[in-house]
Amino acid sequence: MTDARTLAPQLPAPKLVIDGQPVDPVEGGTLPVVNPATGQKICDVPSANGADVDKAVKAARRAFESGPWSKMNPSERGKLIRKLSELLWERREEFALVESMNNGKTFREAIRGDVGPGAGTLAYFSDWANKITGEVLPVDGPFLTYCLKEPVGVVAAIVPWNYPTCLLCWKLGPALAAGCTVVVKPSELTPLTALKLGTLALEAGFPPGVLNVVTGYGDPTGEALARHPDVDKISFTGSGRTARRLLQASAGSNLKKLTLELGGKSPQIILPDADFDTATEACFWGIFGNKGEICNAGSRVLVHEKAYDAFVGRLVERAQKMKVGDPLDPETEMGSQISARQLDTILSYIESGRKQGAKLLTGGERDTQGVKAKGYFVKPTIFGDVKPEMKIAQEEIFGPVLSCLRFRDEAHALEIANSTTYGLAASIWTRDVAKAHAMARKVKSGVVWINCFNEFDNAAPFGGYKESGWGRDLSHHALEGYLQYKAVWTKLPEGV
Ligand code: NAD
């Protein structure tokens, strides 16, 4: 991997991407984009208003109804998605550098966890474009009745800031493979790679209007998309708070369909016979990877009381060795939090942990040493003796703060694991695999990892139970969110 400090950042043009072209916003508003590791402005990008959103939706509608996209053979559609994937992979370092500067994540993580997997997801779904089949239905006759699977239409992809490229590709891959057209709304904090991807799609040969990008704040840009009567579906990743706004907007407009990928408070359950070496490393990266800004972060470690002291001791030791610093330095293990606001949120959770009586084992404060003084860095933080009802055990912090809890037996571990409003992911660590499978059935979450954590594959669905969301990203199941089914009946002649 190239040393990112030797690369020159290639920023996108400060234009919206609408109807096959980079364009200025109607009223010329801008929003500043900041490097959270230095606190310095990188550039300005357009802040789209309702009129810009309307232009983008109209372009997407034209491309969907009468443009070349609607007439393109599925295999050709697949080739274009594949081309976009290849271009993204070729330029992974260019994208990763911009992502790292804009998000504060390490350059290594930007390639390994964000841009690389994004390209992989596009490649996976490119192969699905000509494999979406309908079915002939065994109805009582005499009829020939079949079911067509048709694209849902114009999709608004509204995505967050923690994995800007990857999560966008999680939406684009299945939406484009299904034959939908898309208007992308990246987070106001990390709009750069979405703009770059929008122009890369034009370079790949996508027809005008198929992939549009509007940058701007949640309100008015996101709201305008959510309320637009000609958007058929919103595919959203973000917070539960915004998800509720989207539901209201859908109810107040055209009842557009929604897929919601939301937050988590994932438990890692450590039984006394677990392989401690592997589990320690997985618990460490499970919370401190991507600076804890991961929806499925393993933010609760539940340890059997017999193993608690030894296991938590190892974790603390590992956290104290973590190298926090310049995201572009290849030695750095953890970069900067995304913003001053997120830093304040994290510090206020740390304060609440202290006040509610959890035992601070390491970290617990902002890190302002050396080059970190101007950025939004937090020391890797671990709380012990956390009780399930404490705020730091219940709410998503979205930062490098781990809560360690004790349990008596498996039933107690499951009770704690299931005690939050979330249900995104969980892990179980034990050499007794039969026990692990029995426990996996009782965990209320969309993903359960046994003796591993944070494993992803394009073939495996990802999404949540309970308030962690509706619908799934990844795998062929994700396609269902972008398709609608049509039953076609033909009356057959009697007696033939
Ligand atoms: P957020 O909800 O604040 O913002 C997400 C997106 O919604 C942004 O593009 C934002 O501009 C937009 N938005 C905000 N208000 C809007 C409105 N009123 N109408 C339309 N759009 C609006 O979330 P965030 O802070 O960017 O991301 C963090 C959250 O995302 C966390 O809760 C995290 O768990 C969740 N997340 C979930 C997954 C998953 O796959 N389940 C993955 C990553 C992040």
Band of pLDDT at residue 28, cut at 50, 70 and 90: confident
The closest of 54, 70, 67, 42 to 16, measured between CA atoms, is 54
Considering only 44-53, 67-76, 154-163, 413-422, which range has the smallest mean pLDDT?
67-76
Query: How high is the pLDDT of residue 494?
Result: 87
For 48-62, what is each residue's pLDDT tens digit? 999 999 999 999 999
State in Å: Cα 383 to ligand 1 middle.
Answer: 27
Strands 181-185 vs 154-158: parallel, antiparallel or unpaired: parallel
Query: Which pLDDT band holds residue 375 (cuts at 50, 70, 90)?
Result: very high
Q: Cite the DSSP H helix spans in 18-161.
A: 50-65, 68-71, 74-90, 92-103, 107-109, 116-126
Percent of the chain with pLDDT over 90: 98
342 lines ligand 1 (CB under 6 A): no
Q: 142 preceded by cis ω (within 30°)?
A: yes
Could you tell which of 49, 121, 158 is best to mutate to test the pocket of ligand 1, judged by most ligand atoms within 8 Å of the CB? 158
Q: What is the pLDDT of residues 269-328, one digit of tens each?
A: 999 999 999 999 999 999 999 999 999 999 999 999 999 999 999 999 999 999 999 999
Burial of residue 427 (CB within 10 Å: 0-12, 13-18, 19+) is buried
pLDDT at 272: 97
- Ligand 1 atom 21: the closest Cα is on which residue? 222
Ligand 1 in contact with 295 (CB < 6 A)? Answer: yes
Query: Looking at this protein, which amino acid is placed at residue 397?
Result: I
Query: How many Å lie between the centroid of ligand 1 and the Cα of residue 109?
Result: 20
Which pLDDT tens digit goes with each residue over 209-251? Answer: 999 999 999 999 999 999 999 999 999 999 999 999 999 999 9
Local confidence band at 67 (pLDDT 50, 70, 90 cut-offs): confident
Given the CA of residue 217, which atom of ligand 1 is nearest to it? Answer: 11
The response to whether residue 339 sits with its C-beta less than 6 Å from ligand 1 reads: no
Give the residue whose CA is nearest to atom 37 of ligand 1. 262
158 lines ligand 1 (CB under 6 A): yes
Q: Measured between alpha carbons, how far is 172 from 193 in angstroms, rounded to an integer?
A: 14
Cα dihedral 382, 387, 389, 390 sign: negative
Task: Give the C-alpha separation, 468 to 421, whole Å.
Answer: 8
- 4-262+470-485 under CATH 3.40.50.460, yes or no: no
Helices 74-90 + 164-178 axis angle, to 10: 160
Whether 245 is in the pocket of ligand 1, judged by its Cβ within 6 Å, is yes
Main-chain phi, psi angles of 387, to 5 degrees = -100, 145
Tally of CB atoms within 10 A around 20: 18
CA of 385 to the centre of ligand 1 (A): 31
Q: Which residues are catalytic?
A: 261
Distance CA 495, CA 9 (A): 73
Q: Is 478 near ligand 1, meaning CB less than 6 Å away?
A: no
Q: Are 242 and 256 in contact (CB under 8 A)?
A: no
Mean pLDDT within 433-459:
98
Atom nearest to 342 CA in ligand 1: 25
User: Once rounded to an integer, what is the mean pLDDT over residues 255-269?
Assistant: 98
Q: Which two tokens stand for residue 367?
A: 């890190």
Q: Is 183 helix (H, G, I), strand (E, B) or coil?
A: strand
185 lines ligand 1 (CB under 6 A): yes
Domain residue limits, the chain: 4-262+470-485, 267-460
pLDDT, mean of residues 63-67: 94
Q: What is the pLDDT of residues 330-366, one digit of tens each?
A: 999 999 999 999 999 999 999 999 999 999 999 999 9
246 C-alpha to center of ligand 1: Å?
A: 11
For position 468, what pLDDT does the model report?
A: 98
pLDDT beyond 90 at 496: no
Residue 445 CB-half CA count within 13 A: 30
Ligand 1 atom nearest 225 alpha carbon? 20
User: Does the Cβ of 164 fall within 6 Å of ligand 1?
Assistant: no
pLDDT > 90? residue 204: yes
- State which of 47, 105, 162 you would mutate to test the pocket of ligand 1, scoring each by most atoms of that ligand within 8 A of its C-beta: 162
Is the C-beta atom of 238 inside 6 A of ligand 1? yes
Superfamily of domain 267-460: Aldehyde Dehydrogenase; Chain A, domain 2 (3.40.309.10)
Residue 69 has pLDDT above 90, yes or no: yes
User: How many A from CA of 275 to the centre of ligand 1?
Assistant: 36
Question: Which of ligand 1's atoms lies nearest the C-alpha of 185?
Answer: 9
Q: Could you give the percent of the chain with pLDDT greater than 70? A: 100
Query: Which pLDDT does position 141 carry in this prediction?
Result: 87
For the entire predicted model, the pTM comes to 0.97
Going by alpha carbons, the residue nearest to atom 30 of ligand 1 is: 238
Q: What pLDDT is stored for residue 411 in this prediction?
A: 98
How does the average pLDDT of the chain come out, rounded? 97
pLDDT at 16: 98
Residue 168 Cβ < 6 Å to ligand 1: no
Report which of 350, 423, 341 is spatially closest to residue 390, judged by C-alpha positions: 350
